[in-house]
Every structure is written in C-alpha cells, then in structure tokens.
C-alpha cells in the first residue's frame, strides 16, 4: 500500500472518535485531510451533526467546500476532540508538529479540546524526537536575533523556512524557524519551556502531554495506539 493510501486509511479511521453533536477541532495536513473528507461525507449521507473549528485557513477552506458547519473557538465552551496530524511522535506520545506551518493555531485548538487524536503513517514513529526539524513560530521583528538566540540555546543550526524565494508567512503573519536538532530531544517539556522563554518566540511545535491516541497506518493495516495516561483512558475508567 502506498503512502497516500495509508494516510487515507488513518484519516478515515479517526472519524470513529466523532459522534453526533460533537464540537470537533479540524487539524491541518495531508493525512487529516482525509478525516475532513470522511466527516463531510457522513454529514451529507448519514446526517452526522457536528460543528468544526479549523486550525488553518487551508482547513477552513476545505471544510466549507465540503459542507461542514464551522464556528469560532471563542464562541464555544471548549471542544470534544481535535483530530490532527503529526510530523513525529515518540513512545511517550509527545509530538513534533508544524510542518504545515499551522502550529500556533493547532496548539490553541488542542489545548481547548477534551481529547486529541493524531493520525499518522508509520514513518512518523520515532524513539527520540528531533529528526524532523523542530518548527518555531517567531515574530518578524528582529527575527535573525531570535534565530541566533535559538542557535545558542539549542546548539544547532536554525534556518528560516522559505516559500519559493520569500520567507514563508504563517496564517498569523509570523515566520517559521526550523531548528535542526537531530534526534536529541530527550526532555521535550524542558526544551519547550526554554524556547518559549525567548521574547521573539510566539510558539514552538512541541505538543507535550496532549496526544491521547495515535491512529497509525502501516503496511500491516491500521492500529490504534492509546496513551495509557491519556484522557481517553481516564474517561473510559470513570465511566466503567
């Protein structure tokens, strides 16, 4: 099975976490795209009633085109679940996200959600975070000063993400710096805290203690990996 087919399987499988009447965070990326398409199909054909909150302009456009009702996060009292992709996840369900440059909105939505389900193919599974360059959203103001401070802090090369011959701008009008740490982020919570202490940093693509389950697609099929200390396990225990 090719990579695109694996993404599709994972994206569709994640829809099983969405029930009628839910408020759903809609992530950004090539895998969660299939979740959005499948949710839209269930809305049209099965009468599924949901309200979505998109994590990017790209996702907002797709959801509206497919007929999913959207709302502003500020107008809702939290979300039931967010379904999103990831660039890496480790054995402790810690994530690196931001390959699609939507990490700030993705983290805002994730923090407002009662649970987070991640869709991924098996290339995203790592023993130690950092092979995928760590995305860091920064203000344009004196961004090279921030870049140098990050290089000093992380002891690695940091680059400005480009889009063609121009610096990429996020949906929030900021820049993305990519920190090439290599697979060395053994304590992601500390790394996140230290990066956020720099004044020019808006947000960092480390998602700590947020992921409750990974829907993993591989050549062997789709596997659901549930975080043993996650909110889905705690919720099921309280209902038992």
The answer to whether 11 touches 42, Cβ cutoff 8 Å, is no
Exactly one of 38, 88, 106, 137 is catalytic; name it: 106
The answer to whether 233 touches 227, Cβ cutoff 8 Å, is yes
DSSP assignment of 56-123 equals SHHHHHHHHHHT--B--GGGSS-BSEEEE--SEE-TT--EE--TTS-HHHHHHHHHTBS-EEEEEEGG
- Helix orientation angle between 3-13 and 32-46, rounded to the nearest 10 degrees: 50
Based on the residue annotation, tell me whether 106 is a catalytic residue of this protein.
yes
In angstroms, the Cα distances linking 135 to 41, 202, 214 are 33, 11, 21
Instruction: Indicate which residues carry an active-site annotation.
Output: 106
């Amino acid at each position: 099975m090719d990579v695109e087919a694996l993404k599709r399987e994972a994206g569709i499988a994640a829809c099983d976490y969405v029930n009628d009447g839910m408020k759903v965070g809609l992530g950004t990326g090539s895998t969660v795209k299939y979740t959005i398409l499948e949710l839209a199909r269930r809305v049209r054909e099965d009468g599924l009633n949901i309200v979505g909150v998109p994590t990017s302009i790209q996702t907002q456009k797709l959801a509206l085109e497919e007929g999913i009702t959207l709302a502003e996060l500020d107008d809702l009292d939290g979300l039931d679940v967010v379904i999103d992709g990831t660039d890496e996840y480790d054995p402790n369900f810690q994530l690196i996200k931001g390959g699609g440059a939507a990490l700030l909105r993705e983290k805002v939505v994730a923090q407002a959600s009662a649970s987070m389900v991640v869709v991924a193919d098996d290339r995203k599974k790592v023993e130690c975070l950092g092979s995928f360059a760590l995305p860091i959203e920064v203000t344009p103001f004196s961004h090279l000063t921030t870049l140098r401070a990050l290089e000093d802090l992380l002891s690695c090369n940091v680059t400005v993400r480009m889009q063609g011959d121009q610096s990429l701008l996020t949906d929030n009008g900021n820049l993305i710096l990519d920190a090439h740490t290599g697979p060395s982020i053994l304590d992601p919570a500390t790394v996140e805290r230290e990066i956020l202490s720099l004044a020019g940093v808006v947000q960092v693509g480390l998602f700590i203690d947020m992921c409750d389950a990974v829907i993993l697609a591989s050549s062997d099929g789709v596997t659901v990996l549930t975080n043993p200390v996650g909110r889905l396990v705690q919720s099921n225990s309280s209902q038992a």
